[in-house]
Structure 1
Amino acid sequence: MVSVSVRKHGLAVAGICVMLLAGTACSDTEAGGSSGSGTTQSSGTPGASTTPGSSASPSQNPGAANVAIVPAKGASAVKPDQPVTVTTTAGKLKDVVLKDDDGDKVAGSFNTEKTQWTSLPQLKPGASYTVSGSAEGTDGASVPISSTFKTLKATKRLKASVAPLNGETVGVAMPIQIYWNNPVTDRAAVEKRLSVKTSVPVVGSWHWVNSMQVNYRPMNYWPAGTKVTVNIDTLGVNAGRSTWGVASRQISFSIGKSVVTKVDVKKHTMYVFIGGKLARTIPITAGKDGFTTRSGVKVIMEKFVTKRMDARTVGIKPGDPEYYDIHDVKWAQRVTSSGEFIHGAPWSAGSQGSANVSHGCVGMSLKDAQWYFSQTLRGDPVVVTGTTRKMEPGNGWTDWNTSWSTYKAGSALS
């Protein structure tokens, strides 16, 4: 039909084609970018380059494969979050390969009829891509597929750092934490590229702490023994303000046994539950007046067999009656960013179980501290009660101090 129309109304159709090309210049490129196709455009696919069957045009041989590729051949500013499509109007696509100048392939899939192939919308910014493959028309003739294009360059590059570490075994309260190297403006676009898979059903939610961090936690503690895989498919994502994802990554970790600790500051006692059963009751001392231990759900962040504790790190200087500098604190486990630890404290043995004399830490005998250290993992919860001083948001891993409804509301997709 197209070839007949051209013969009868050549000038009119040429004018329409110019309008169509102008109207589709942004369909697969950044504004201001050149499509640079250098080939004829497909009459049915805006911004597409075509590969006609051998020497015959579609109108002369309806059975010849006529392949259209989007973006157009030679396009120079293609958006990395746009899929690449290869379509044939006759026959089937036999194979399609999309790879960048480093030789890395982009995954894609065929439709049921194998008349269209669509890539994942995950291209590298500032890269050159080649489309290759072949199609076979209903006439049985094979037609090669060949096209090249370039993606636009990113003003800023988005990368992720993740906790926990790949392969780590962590406690039942461990939040997944993703830290971005540049601010994320389009949080929804980025969050759509994040997923969590678990070996047992778990209800959870992402929660944006700020533009540089997004966390994930379950509605309740992770079930013991759960296997977790986090997919950060941010290659090619538009994070806003010319910030584009330049890499995807995947991490897997495991949840250990359930160890939940409850500290009652008023009773000067710590209760350790393992697998839901009380395993040990430990006499402790906590923060004295002026250094009250915070109440709330804390999470073990770091573990040290030996830790130097210098009061200068919390603003107490030498010469102050409250100053201390202990070089060999044993079995120390950090639970707040501000400096609260659970550790062995032989110097306060006379007060453990009866009085609070510390500068905010939870202290116990060396024997109990060593046993407790051997039971815990990074990510285990420590629930503290008995004081009016509450945990401040962000003073450690404080995800569990927010109600579930509020936490879910922190998702960009809620």
Structure 2
Amino acid sequence: MSTWGTRAVGLLTVMVLAASCTGGGAASPEDEVEAKAPLTISASVDDGASDVAVDTVVTVDGFEGQLAEVSLASDDGKSTVPGEIHGVRWTASGLLEPATSYVLKASGTGDDGKPVTRISRFTTRALTLDEQTYPAVAPLEGETVGIGMPVIVSFDVPVTDRAAFEKRMKVTAQPATAGGWYWLSNNTAHWRPKQYWKPGTEVSVDLGLNSVHAGNGIYGQQDQHVKFRVGRSVMTVVDTRRHRATVKINGKNVRTIPVSTGDADHRSRNGIKVVMEKHRSIDMDAATTGVDSDDPNYYNLKGVKWAMRVTNSGEFLHAAPWSGAAQGNANVSHGCVGMSTKDAAWVFAQSKRGDVVSYVGSPRRLEPGNGWTDWNRSWDEWLEGSALGEDAEGA
């Protein structure tokens, strides 16, 4: 503890001897005078300290008086650390930036009625980019998403102290929505509702991760604050046996479309998928899915229209004018859902990132993590992926 000033002795007693014609006498209690002390200010970081850890929570204590104001800011004034006074202590509510010189200023009034101001300086430890992890968030700020959209946080450097981070990763919603975090790996965490989002829900994602220790000498690089909105409910059911896709909007069947899905050697995967990307036009090269150019199954399709990705492995819903005769009758694709250009354009126009696409009728199961496969886990299984073992009500 760094102490600015000298702490006074608590009590000074002055004995007043009254003269009388009969000799000396003892002082009465009224003759005792208490000397009041000046304010003494102590900080948790020493004046002149260097190499201070960025996850240090700075505190300031005031003795023999009352703290009135405390400020903590970088020497250049570009960065400030907020805090609050409770009783005799000021506590910072934020952490520190790396390689930064700080000025800590505290003032107040002592029991003696005199004002006191103390100033100290210190410098924090420098961190390389390899010692910091950046949190990238999906959805994007202001985005409107589907009812199946998870909140996705991706870290470029692994987080090994998941609990420390999860405590500071908050998702709140209006109306309130129960949900929880699931760590797919040390680099990726998803938050999903217990049930599909209610259309019209307003969601805020607040990650207070700046300078939080992530484990193994790694620290959060910055906070993140993102707001997004949930749009109308659009759900598509792809029946691979019947070669049909039924689109439901706000719970009502709106359109049934003839399609062709994966053939016997390239079955489309059964399970609940979520629209991850939308492309008006995209080149589809089988090499990106591990098929070599000399393989008989190799393809390289240029300018495929109205494509929506639903798996990491390369399953899309898209226009496939080359398979028109098979649509509604047979499965001839390499796993994608092919439809007419007209139908594909309509589906594309109705859809947004986060919409749910459920596949039924296929003997091939969707692998966990092959896309945003969150909805294929039960709620109990989902909670097992939390570092804290908790669900939360979005307020």
* TM superposition score normalised by structure 1: 0.83
The range that moved more, 57-66 or 382-391, is: 57-66
Counterpart for residue 124 of structure 1:
97
Specify the code of the residue in structure 2 equivalent to 1:188: A
Counterpart for residue 133 of structure 1:
106
Aligned length: 364
Counterpart for residue 175 of structure 2:
200
Counterparts of 1:162-181 in structure 2, within 5 Å, are 162-181=137-156
Matched, 1:361 2:361: no
Q: 1:315 to 1:88 in 2, by over 3 A?
A: closer
Unpaired runs of 5+ residues, structure 2, are: 13-34, 390-395
Counterpart for residue 4 of structure 2:
50
Does the 8 Å CA contact 1:122/1:235 hold for their aligned counterparts? yes
**C-alpha deviations, 1:101-122, integer Å up to 9, x for none?**
34211111121x4x32110251
- Paired residue for 1:243, among 196, 210, 218? 218
- Paired residue for 1:276, among 227, 251, 261? 251
Matched, 1:267 2:242: yes
Q: Distance in 2 between matches of 1:101 and 1:179?
A: 32
Shift of 1:48: 3.0
The 3-state SS of whatever aligns with 1:139 is coil
- Paired residue for 2:67, among 84, 93, 100? 93
Higher relative contact order (CA 8 A, sep 6+): 2
Q: Distance in 1 between matches of 2:45 and 2:291?
A: 63
Unpaired runs of 5+ residues, structure 1, are: 1-46
Does the 8 Å CA contact 2:105/2:117 hold for their aligned counterparts? yes
Q: Distance in 1 between matches of 2:286 and 2:195?
A: 36
Q: Distance in 1 between matches of 2:163 and 2:311?
A: 30
RMSD: 2.0
The 3-state SS of whatever aligns with 1:207 is strand
Q: Distance in 2 between matches of 1:318 and 1:64?
A: 83
Q: Distance in 1 between matches of 2:258 and 2:53?
A: 61
Shift of 1:137: 2.2
- Paired residue for 1:151, among 124, 129, 145? 124
Q: 1:274 to 1:74 in 2, by over 3 A?
A: same
Q: Distance in 2 between matches of 1:247 and 1:311?
A: 38
Q: Distance in 2 between matches of 1:295 and 1:102?
A: 58
Q: Which runs of 4+ in 1 moved over 3 A?
A: 56-61, 152-155, 315-323
Counterpart for residue 281 of structure 2:
306
Does the 8 Å CA contact 1:126/1:153 hold for their aligned counterparts? yes
Q: Distance in 2 between matches of 1:141 and 1:219?
A: 58
Shift of 1:374: 0.6
Q: Distance in 1 between matches of 2:127 and 2:5?
A: 31
Counterpart for residue 39 of structure 1:
none
Does the 8 Å CA contact 1:96/1:117 hold for their aligned counterparts? yes
The range that moved more, 218-227 or 66-75, is: 66-75
Q: Distance in 1 between matches of 2:170 and 2:329?
A: 48
Specify the code of the residue in structure 2 equivalent to 1:384: Y
Does the 8 Å CA contact 2:83/2:94 hold for their aligned counterparts? no
* TM superposition score normalised by structure 2: 0.87
Specify the code of the residue in structure 1 equivalent to 2:235: V
Counterpart for residue 83 of structure 1:
57
Does the 8 Å CA contact 2:57/2:94 hold for their aligned counterparts? yes
Shift of 1:63: 4.4
Counterpart for residue 375 of structure 2:
400
Matched, 1:390 2:344: no
Specify the code of the residue in structure 2 equivalent to 1:124: E
Counterpart for residue 73 of structure 1:
47
Does the 8 Å CA contact 1:106/1:122 hold for their aligned counterparts? yes
**C-alpha deviations, 1:168-207, integer Å up to 9, x for none?**
1111111111111211121111111211121211111111
Q: Distance in 1 between matches of 2:43 and 2:296?
A: 76
Specify the code of the residue in structure 1 equivalent to 2:334: H
The 3-state SS of whatever aligns with 1:132 is strand
Does the 8 Å CA contact 1:174/1:378 hold for their aligned counterparts? yes
Shift of 1:276: 1.5
Does the 8 Å CA contact 1:205/1:218 hold for their aligned counterparts? yes
Specify the code of the residue in structure 1 equivalent to 2:96: L
Does the 8 Å CA contact 1:154/1:242 hold for their aligned counterparts? no
Q: Distance in 1 between matches of 2:289 and 2:344?
A: 23
**C-alpha deviations, 1:253-278, integer Å up to 9, x for none?**
11111111111111111111111221
Does the 8 Å CA contact 1:135/1:145 hold for their aligned counterparts? no
Shift of 1:125: 3.0
Matched, 1:337 2:281: no
Does the 8 Å CA contact 1:125/1:246 hold for their aligned counterparts? no
Counterpart for residue 287 of structure 1:
262
Q: Distance in 2 between matches of 1:306 and 1:203?
A: 37
Shift of 1:150: 2.6
Does the 8 Å CA contact 1:58/1:66 hold for their aligned counterparts? no
Percent sequence identity over aligned pairs:
44
